[in-house]
């Protein structure tokens, strides 16, 4: 994998995915959930629970903990739906971000005795690395705005949803070959749009 494509992959995980400018069905459902609509919540749950559970199982490696993370993710969706802003990104990206946070929280809650404080320096990103991440995020955000909606959706599902191409094909009800072609096209267009910035 070239450094440019690798940079796109890394940065896409960090990027705030832009919204295409029209309110889609998931966006409307989130607005209804924010107003306390249980039916809208149930539709979102049925639509995304399977892929969120698969993501949790891959990340946590344990079916029981993955199911707990799934429940926590959707409790968070219910509680924080009012914080979703369509102008900041697609509903799918927002939902997967909430889910990933719940999965990460569940991953940190392992039943292990507290460890002694480490004498080693922190591995957290320093100011330079944080600035570079923000720069990458901005670059990819700008490039993603220029992609077709279908291409952008694939990037969201792959890099935020953690779905394989087969899972994306099933989720979108399109042939696997179409998913592969659109993914290649999307990554190629991103590489062109970003030019040499990530090399």
Distance between CA atoms of residues 152 and 17, nearest Å? 8
In a structure prediction context, what are the per-residue pLDDT tens digits for the chain, which is 199 residues long? 444 444 444 444 444 443 333 347 888 999 999 999 999 999 989 888 888 888 888 888 888 888 888 888 898 889 888 888 887 777 888 888 888 888 888 877 764 444 555 556 555 555 666 666 666 666 766 777 777 888 878 887 887 677 888 988 888 888 999 999 988 888 888 788 777 444 4
The torsion angles phi and psi of 164, rounded to 5 degrees, stand at: -75, 170
The residues near 120 (Cβ < 8 Å, ≥ 6 apart) are none
Say what the pTM is.
0.49
CA distances from 24 to 27, 64, 103, 177, 184 (A): 5, 33, 26, 25, 25
Answer for the pair 81, 33: CB distance below 8 angstroms, yes or no: yes
Q: Tokens 């993914």: give the residue.
A: 183
């Amino acid at each position: 994998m070239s450094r440019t494509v690798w940079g796109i992959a890394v940065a896409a995980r960090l990027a705030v995915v832009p919204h295409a400018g029209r309110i889609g069905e998931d966006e409307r459902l989130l607005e209804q959930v924010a107003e306390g609509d249980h039916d809208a919540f149930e539709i979102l749950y049925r639509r995304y629970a399977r892929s969120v559970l698969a993501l949790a199982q891959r990340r946590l490696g344990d079916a029981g903990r993955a199911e707990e993370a799934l429940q926590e993710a959707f409790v968070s969706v219910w509680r924080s739906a009012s914080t979703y802003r369509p102008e900041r990104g697609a509903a799918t990206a927002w939902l997967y971000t909430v889910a990933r946070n719940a999965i990460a929280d569940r991953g940190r809650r392992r039943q292990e005795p507290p460890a002694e404080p480490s004498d080693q320096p922190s591995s957290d990103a320093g100011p330079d690395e944080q600035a570079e991440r923000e720069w990458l995020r901005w670059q990819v955000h700008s490039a993603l705005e220029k992609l077709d909606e279908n291409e952008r959706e694939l990037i969201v599902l792959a890099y935020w949803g953690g779905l394989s191409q087969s899972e994306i094909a099933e989720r979108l009800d399109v042939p696997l070959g179409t998913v592969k072609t659109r993914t290649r096209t999307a990554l190629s267009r991103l590489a062109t749009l970003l030019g040499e910035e990530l090399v």
